[in-house]
């Protein structure tokens, strides 16, 4: 019961933050609301007992990405406040499409049999962090996606160095 109240509160904050991100006129405020929304997602991970995901969410999204976004916005200070209209004439089409999309996703989720059942209580002596780490490098589990992601990130890193490199 208490968990449900916390969940509803956190979900409302997350959604409210997301809404303010797209409606706020000030770009830096948008970025700050985005941070609130991402933080709400991290709290949802905590409620799901996924401590590693929660902390990684804060480190990666708030610690790195959101700060990069704020940096980018501040570098373009002239454009921080956008005075133009925020909606155009086809707003009803967008609203309809998103409603249909939301309905479709909810219907699909409700057909999944895990949707209505209660979450199983995790065994006390299992360390989910260790299992996650082992699963990431086990050959029959996720080692290939894991390595692919690392190669992609390495390529992005080298690419950014090449772009920024000045010939002397």
Partner 1 sequence: MAFLHDPITFIANWLQTLLAGWGLSSGLISVILTFFGVLVAALMLLVLDFSLVWVERKTVARLQDRIGPNRIGPFGIFQPVPDVLKLLIKEDITPEGADKIVYNLAPIFGLGAVLLLWAVIPFGYKILGTDINVGVLYIVAVGALGTLGIIMAGWASNNKYGLLGAFRMVAQMVSFEVPMVISLLIPVILARTMGINGIIEAQGGMWFVIVSPIAALILLISAQAELGRAPFDLAEAESEIVAGFHIEYTGIKFGMFYAGELLHALTFGAIISALFLGGWRGPGAETFPFLGVVYLFIKAFILYFVIMWLKYSLPRLRIDQMLNFNWKFLTPLALILLILTAILSKILENAGITLGSSPLLFSGLFLMMNLILVGITVLLLRAYGPKHPKVIAEPRPVAVTPETPATDIS
- The reply to whether 27 sits near partner 1 by the rule CB under 8 A is no
Among the listed residues 15, 22, 59, 97, the single contact to partner 1 using CB under 8 A? 59
Nearer to partner 1 by Cβ, of 100 and 138: the residue is 138
CB 24 within 8 A of CB 81: no
Only segment of 4-12, 15-23, 50-58, 116-124 that touches partner 1 (CB under 8 A): 50-58
Nearer to partner 1 by Cβ, of 49 and 90: the residue is 49
Dihedral sign computed on CA atoms, order 13, 128, 151, 67:
positive
Q: Kindly state the tokens that stand for 39.
A: 């933080």
Angle between helix axes 143-164 and 128-137 (nearest 10 degrees) is 80
In angstroms, what is the minimal distance from the CB of 69 to partner 1? 11
d(CA 23, CA 138): 44
d(CA 51, CA 40): 14
- The reply to whether 9 sits near partner 1 by the rule CB under 8 A is no
Nearer to partner 1 by Cβ, of 114 and 139: the residue is 139
Among the listed residues 16, 20, 29, 136, the single contact to partner 1 using CB under 8 A? 29
Nearer to partner 1 by Cβ, of 51 and 86: the residue is 51
Q: Kindly state the tokens that stand for 113.
A: 């049999």
Residues 84-143 within binding reach of partner 1 (CB under 8 A): 127-129
Taking CA atoms, 5 is separated from 8, 9, 35, 39, 166, in Å, by 5, 6, 22, 18, 55
Among the listed residues 56, 136, 142, 146, the single contact to partner 1 using CB under 8 A? 56
Strand partners, 81: 26
User: Rule CB under 8 A: which residues touch partner 1?
Assistant: 2, 26, 28-29, 32, 35, 51-52, 55-56, 58-59, 62-64, 66-67, 70-71, 74, 127-129
């Amino acid at each position: 019961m208490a968990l449900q109240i916390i969940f509803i509160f956190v979900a409302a904050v997350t959604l409210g933050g997301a809404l303010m991100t797209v409606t706020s006129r000030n770009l830096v405020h948008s970025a700050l609301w985005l941070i609130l929304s991402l933080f709400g997602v991290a709290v949802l991970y905590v409620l799901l007992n996924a401590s590693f995901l929660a902390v990684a969410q804060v480190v990666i999204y708030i610690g790195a990405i959101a700060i990069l976004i704020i940096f980018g916005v501040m570098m373009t200070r002239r454009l921080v406040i956008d005075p133009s209209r925020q909606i155009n004439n086809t707003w009803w089409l967008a609203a309809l499409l998103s409603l249909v999309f939301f309905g479709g996703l909810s219907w699909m989720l409700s057909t999944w049999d895990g949707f209505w059942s209660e979450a199983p209580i995790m065994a006390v002596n299992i360390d989910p962090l260790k299992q996650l780490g082992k699963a990431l490098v086990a050959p029959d589990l996720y080692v290939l996606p894991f390595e692919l992601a690392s190669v992609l990130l390495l390529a992005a890193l080298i690419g950014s160095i090449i772009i920024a490199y000045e010939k002397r």
